[in-house]
Amino acid sequence: MKVGPHWYRNSDGTVEIEGVPQMEMTLKKPGGPLRINLVLFDTVGNLHTKVEGNSLVVNEQRAYEVITTDTRFLLQHTETKKPVWEIKVTEDDTVEIPYGELYSLKGHLLKITPVEWSIEKTNDRGGETDVKGGPVPVG
């Protein structure tokens, strides 16, 4: 799994943000389909949005919409169409999160771009980590 510019090898499909599992991804076979479970919090750590199996089950003020294909999941703001969380499967069956902008349970803003991910005072501009069958730690 690639988060921004950093490769995390041998992950279990979970992304932990500041130690809290916030996204779970399964890919049943090469080429998809992707299945995403995701929670979003607001700036004080209250649950704002929840996605289960690619479907919005909690969507405060109808702020978000989900767009999916077998190889792509996109959660975006309904009005601005600005991406909040994007996951895609590349042609060589690797999973990438090239864009993301959401709050952690602690109320810290995580920003992911193709060149960097950052949260609070931590940032990462690339590299490779073997997580040995565990979750991807961000922040």
Q: What are the pLDDT digits (tens) for 2-17?
A: 999 999 999 999 999 9
CB 28 within 8 A of CB 34: no
Q: How far is CA 27 from CA 22, 47, 82, 86, 94, in A?
A: 17, 26, 25, 15, 10
> Which of 26-30, 41-45, 113-117 has the least mean pLDDT?
26-30
How many domains are there within the chain?
1
User: Is the pLDDT score of 31 beyond 90?
Assistant: no
Task: Give the pLDDT band of residue 49 (cuts 50, 70, 90).
Answer: very high
- Cα Dmax for the chain: 40
pLDDT digits (tens, 9 = 90+) for 71-103: 999 999 999 999 999 999 988 888 999 999 999
pLDDT at 27: 85
Provide the residue range defining the domain that includes 128: 2-138
